[in-house]
Structure 1
Amino acid sequence: MTLRKVNVVIILLLAVAFLIIVQRNLLNLSDILHMENPVAGKSLPFESELSPDLGLESVRKGEEISVLITAVEERLGAVVAAMNSVYQNSKANVVFTIVTLNDTVEHLNVWLSKTQLNNIKYNIVIFKPELLSGKMSKDSPMLQDAQPLTFARFYLPVYLPKAEKAIYLDDDVIVQGNIQELYETNLKPGHAAAFSDDCDSASVKGIIRGAGNPNNYLGFLDFKKDAIKQLGMKANTCSFNPGVIIANLTEWRNQNITLQLEHWMELNSREDLYSKTLAESIITPPLLIVFYKRHSAIDPMWHVRHLGTTGAGKRYSPQFVKAAKLLHWNGHYKPWGRTSSFSNVWDKWFIADPVGKFNPVRKSPGDH
């Protein structure tokens, strides 16, 4: 074979080899182009670097859980601590609705946007005090302890017009469990709300204040009044605490619960229906009437309360407090104050005020 023919053969072989390599590369490219979602459910390395919060937020999917809480300026640190505890202890898709007054909005926005809570989902709604116009007696001695915002729980469908179910929380709570579990509390057919009953709960055992017993209806309502007598309620019926509410808002709307609550507020302003030795807030009596034997029960560990009363430190062991899903400092002694029990638990969830207005009061080394 001549040298010229050898060169032609070599060139042809090289050409064939080149074509084979090109074909294989094209086939690999075709496979990639036809592959569906090659990285479905995964974040590429550079995505995580550019968006450090992507991994955290990607798991907060599923049904939206509506949580309503009120925010008073002088207790704003409590609201932030409560929200932080809910957010950090759950991967649920929680959306907070914060009901407050105009003078608190700016401070609240700064606190949430300038701290580790800048990823939470929240809406701020302004409470209109005129909602209560004509529904409360102006000369009632109970009014001095009443904050208008505490009545926001009566208007849940107003503040959550699109929600079918919601959770209401007082600001002096810490949530240690997954809020999804509380949200999934089963409400019986026809029930618009679930509360924690008092009688069978270790939270209130043995607590008596004045002549009224906060374990039953007699501690909240004046059973000598005709309007109460006509209801046919038993005075020794177990009461409940409205600091935590799971509400079926569809039933709430259908049964006109808000209008019923307003009716009893207005009637009380004229006839003074509440007990003279009222155990706690003036929020509770209308709820007790409207939901008499028409509410479901919350797991007691999802509302361990009275941490704000005297003797709570002796009543609960640290192990019990640690096991509780939700802690409530209802009573006079708040966890941001000097004399509260288990304030160290609350401190874990408190986020310092970036503008320095709110500062928890703590005992100095010389205090006893």
Structure 2
Amino acid sequence: MTLRRVNVVILILLAVAFLIIVQRNLLKLSDFLHKENSDAEQILPFEAELSPQARLKTGAKGEEISVLITAAEDRLGGVIAAINSVHHNSKANVAFTIVTPNDTVDHLKAWMSNTKLKEVKYKIVIFQPELLNGKIPKDTSMLDAAKPLTFARFYLPVYIPDAEKAIYLDDDVVVQGDIQELYETSLKPGHAAAFSDDCDSASAKGIVRGAGNQINYMGFLDFKKEAIKKLGMRANTCSFNPGVIIANLTEWKNQNITQQLEHWMELNSQVDLYSSTLAESLTTPPLLIVFYKRHSSIDPRWHLRHLGTTGAGNRYSAQYVRAAKLLHWNGHYKPWMGTSSFTEVWDQWFIPDPTGKFHPVRRHAD
């Protein structure tokens, strides 16, 4: 009797153990199926709303590449061409932050949503000009130089708060290479940004009218002013072009770069610190001060500059322009104005405005 009871107990225990194992496996299977269904619910509707091209972009591998660009109403065609060139030439996971005035939002949305740019991943941020109160001169003669949107690059961590690294692009550029390569530019330890030095080639001096001082710090800052003298900067230091910026946003925030830039903006509004030679834009001088000998360099192929200045067409060959990864029409002459060099290159990336408001000016228009 005792042996039988023991055997019965053993059988009961084995049966219970078997049932427990079966139950656990069923629970795991249920969880797995639930997860699969949950994932499908999250992914399928999202994909169904996008074209195959958009799904390919969304599924691109690698971390998200944050790109900030500003969009003014009278330069919106440039913004469209720049975004289109980046989107077309990159397989990376690019996300645009477009900073624009409130009165440009509807036009921008219509242009993006009614063309192939509807595939682009972007968000629109309204620029608040009140941000610059007390930081730029009130002199009406400086209105062109003090266009509020030009200062958006000072606030990169504000507009792109969650990224560790970001790219800023002027609206008068087109990108001919994969922007992933530009994004992977190595910044030296402790550097918050990388720029293109304007003395990085023998031809650069000839491209900027006047040469000499006009490409160094003396062209932008008044070294007779005490506040500039105290900095101990060398007047003949090569300047850099802030139309393309690669920013380490972690360092930017740790070093309070935005606050430093604001300090020099405010000081200049009280005591004119900038040279009249090249300081047509009020954005470059504060950057030159804050990043004096504290910035990394961008590969010259990734920032071919001065295409909007007089004589650029004679300085660069068509082959050289085609080989460059990024073209920049900095200067007075923009490709949508019909007066710049290599306008035909920019035209490849321009998308006609579906609203009919923006029309590039062309010399030989009918």
TM-score (norm 1): 0.83
Could you tell me which residue of structure 2 aligns to residue 79 of structure 1? Answer: 79
Amino acid paired to 2:352: A
C-alpha distance in structure 2 between counterparts of 1:149 and 1:203, whole Å: 30
Given the alignment of the two structures, is residue 258 of structure 1 paired with residue 258 of structure 2, yes or no?
A: yes
- Say if 1:131 and 1:58 are closer, same or farther in 2 by CA, change over 3 A: closer
Could you tell me which residue of structure 2 aligns to residue 354 of structure 1? Answer: 354
- Say if 1:202 and 1:300 are closer, same or farther in 2 by CA, change over 3 A: farther
**How many Å apart are 1:211 and its aligned residue?**
8.7
Could you tell me which residue of structure 1 aligns to residue 329 of structure 2? Answer: 329
Could you tell me which residue of structure 2 aligns to residue 232 of structure 1? Answer: 232
**In 1, are the aligned partners of 2:207 and 2:309 still within 8 Å (CA)?**
no
C-alpha distance in structure 2 between counterparts of 1:125 and 1:54, whole Å: 22
Could you tell me which residue of structure 1 aligns to residue 298 of structure 2? Answer: 298
Given the alignment of the two structures, is residue 190 of structure 1 paired with residue 197 of structure 2, yes or no?
A: no
Amino acid paired to 2:361: V
Q: Counterpart of 1:174 in 2: which secondary structure?
A: strand
Could you tell me which residue of structure 2 aligns to residue 282 of structure 1? Answer: 282
Write the deviation string for residues 47-105 of structure 1: whole angstroms up to 9, x where unpaired.
Answer: 99x95336633652320000000000111111010000000001000000000011111
- Describe how 1:53-68 pairs up with structure 2 within 5 A: 53=53, 56-57=56-57, 59-68=59-68
- Say if 1:365 and 1:259 are closer, same or farther in 2 by CA, change over 3 A: closer
Write the deviation string for residues 219-239 of structure 1: whole angstroms up to 9, x where unpaired.
Answer: 000000000000000000010
**In 2, are the aligned partners of 1:338 and 1:363 still within 8 Å (CA)?**
yes
**How many Å apart are 1:204 and its aligned residue?**
2.1
C-alpha distance in structure 1 between counterparts of 2:323 and 2:329, whole Å: 16
Amino acid paired to 2:353: D
- Say if 1:326 and 1:280 are closer, same or farther in 2 by CA, change over 3 A: farther
C-alpha distance in structure 2 between counterparts of 1:294 and 1:132, whole Å: 25
Write the deviation string for residues 13-43 of structure 1: whole angstroms up to 9, x where unpaired.
Answer: xxxxxxxxxxxxxxxxxxxxxxxx9xxxxxx
Could you tell me which residue of structure 2 aligns to residue 13 of structure 1? Answer: none
Could you tell me which residue of structure 1 aligns to residue 316 of structure 2? Answer: 316
Amino acid paired to 2:84: N
Amino acid paired to 1:123: K
Q: Counterpart of 1:117 in 2: which secondary structure?
A: helix
Amino acid paired to 2:249: L
C-alpha distance in structure 1 between counterparts of 2:232 and 2:241, whole Å: 21
- Describe how 1:133-282 pairs up with structure 2 within 5 A: 133-139=133-139, 141-202=141-202, 204-209=204-209, 213-282=213-282
- Say if 1:105 and 1:261 are closer, same or farther in 2 by CA, change over 3 A: same
**How many Å apart are 1:357 and its aligned residue?**
0.4
C-alpha distance in structure 2 between counterparts of 1:74 and 1:202, whole Å: 34
Could you tell me which residue of structure 1 aligns to residue 30 of structure 2? Answer: none
**In 2, are the aligned partners of 1:218 and 1:236 still within 8 Å (CA)?**
yes
Could you tell me which residue of structure 1 aligns to residue 115 of structure 2? Answer: 115
Amino acid paired to 1:197: D
Q: Counterpart of 1:213 in 2: which secondary structure?
A: helix
**Bigger CA radius of gyration:** 1
C-alpha distance in structure 2 between counterparts of 1:51 and 1:74, whole Å: 30
Amino acid paired to 2:99: V
**In 2, are the aligned partners of 1:214 and 1:279 still within 8 Å (CA)?**
no
Could you tell me which residue of structure 2 aligns to residue 7 of structure 1? Answer: none
- Percent identical across equivalent pairs? 76
- Say if 1:211 and 1:218 are closer, same or farther in 2 by CA, change over 3 A: same
**In 2, are the aligned partners of 1:59 and 1:91 still within 8 Å (CA)?**
no
Q: Counterpart of 1:206 in 2: which secondary structure?
A: helix
- Between stretches 57-66 and 169-178, larger displacement belongs to 57-66
C-alpha distance in structure 2 between counterparts of 1:277 and 1:165, whole Å: 33
Amino acid paired to 1:358: F
C-alpha distance in structure 2 between counterparts of 1:74 and 1:212, whole Å: 33
**How many Å apart are 1:142 and its aligned residue?**
3.0
Could you tell me which residue of structure 1 aligns to residue 5 of structure 2? Answer: none
- Between stretches 208-217 and 78-87, larger displacement belongs to 208-217
**In 1, are the aligned partners of 2:85 and 2:176 still within 8 Å (CA)?**
yes
- How many residue pairs were aligned? 320
The two structures, once aligned, show a CA RMSD in angstroms of 2.0
- Say if 1:129 and 1:165 are closer, same or farther in 2 by CA, change over 3 A: same
- Say if 1:51 and 1:327 are closer, same or farther in 2 by CA, change over 3 A: closer
Amino acid paired to 2:233: M
Q: Counterpart of 1:287 in 2: which secondary structure?
A: helix
Write the deviation string for residues 292-331 of structure 1: whole angstroms up to 9, x where unpaired.
Answer: 0000000011000100001111000000000000000000
